[in-house]
Amino acid sequence: MSGDASGPNAPVEHSVGDGVFVVGTDTGVGKTVVTAGLTGWLRERGRDAVAVKPCQTGHPPDDDAGVVASVCGTDDAAVCLRRLEPPLAPAVAATETGEPLAYDDIRGGVTDTVDACETAVVEGIGGLRVPLADGKEVLDLVADAALPALVVARSDLGTLNHTALTVRALRDRGVPVVGVVCNQYEGATTAERTNPGVIERMTDCPVWTVPPLDTTSGERVVDGIRENLPASLLGGTAE
């Protein structure tokens, strides 16, 4: 694996078998693509895996649960607990529209869904410090969900800072970090090629790279996650 990243066969300290919170260093880094591919991979292994979007803003056109359902070929693979139209942080979107948005309702919906399925793949909203509701942020929901976190990051210059800050914030709240995915990795620059190894040394996390994928094909998205993340990540009797 180029970039000194951990290989697809690397052992992991934390698996996603009992659920995982897919968090990002920012909005638009690839949380949904990774969530969709991981959920599809778990389901093809026979796991009762369901992706959970706690609150979708910018809806429509943004529809992360719909993307996961399309990749997995079934609406049963994803659930969206709340939708808001403004393409903003949830707390800001709710203020703009005057709609009520209660943190306890969001947290309760997430924990209910986590309890109701074998493997919940919960996707964050933007990055960790995004205002969610009632003065709480996405990071509070991650901590309350009591799941390990998988961090999705950009691969290019600038990601060292964002990724190290994100991992530090998770660990300061006692959230185990499964690893880091450097997404849309092409290795086209010295920064890209060195970033995975530097992130591993900065965070003591395994780092995997996922290349640009054909996101028009659900199969290619699942293939792209299965081929670049370790099977040990799935936990249980992963082959």
Ligand X SMILES: Nc1ncnc2c1ncn2[C@@H]1O[C@H](COP(=O)(O)OP(=O)(O)OP(=O)(O)O)[C@@H](O)[C@H]1O
Which residues are designated catalytic? 53
Applying CB under 6 A, does 212 fall inside the site for ligand X? yes
Q: Of 1-9, 40-48, 190-198, 209-217, which segment contacts ligand X by CB under 6 A?
A: 209-217
Q: What is the distance between the alpha carbons of residues 144 and 146, in angstroms, rounded to a whole number?
A: 5
Letter for the amino acid at 202?
Answer: M
> By C-beta, is 64 or 140 nearer to Mg ion?
64
Applying CB under 6 A, does 150 fall inside the site for ligand DNN? no
The DSSP string of 27-50 is TTSSHHHHHHHHHHHHHHTT--EE
Please state the closest distance from residue 123 (CB atom) to ligand DNN, in A. 9
88 is an annotated ligand-binding site residue? no
Applying CB under 5 A, does 113 fall inside the site for Mg ion? no
Measured CA to CA in angstroms, residue 201 lies from 6, 120, 123, 163, 197 at distances of 11, 29, 26, 12, 6
Which of 6, 15, 25, 32 forms a contact with Mg ion (CB under 5 A)? Answer: 32
Place of tokens 């800050």: 165
- Residue from 73, 80, 19 nearest 52 by CA: 80
Residue 57 binds which entry of ligand DNN, Mg ion, ligand X, none, with Cβ cut-offs from 5 to 8 Å by kind?
A: ligand DNN
127 is an annotated ligand-binding site residue? no
The DSSP string of 72-99 is HTSGGGEEE--B-SSSS-HHHHHHHHT-
> By C-beta, is 19 or 127 nearer to ligand DNN?
127
The residues binding ligand X (CB under 6 A) are 24, 27-33, 62, 64, 126, 183-184, 210, 212-213, 215
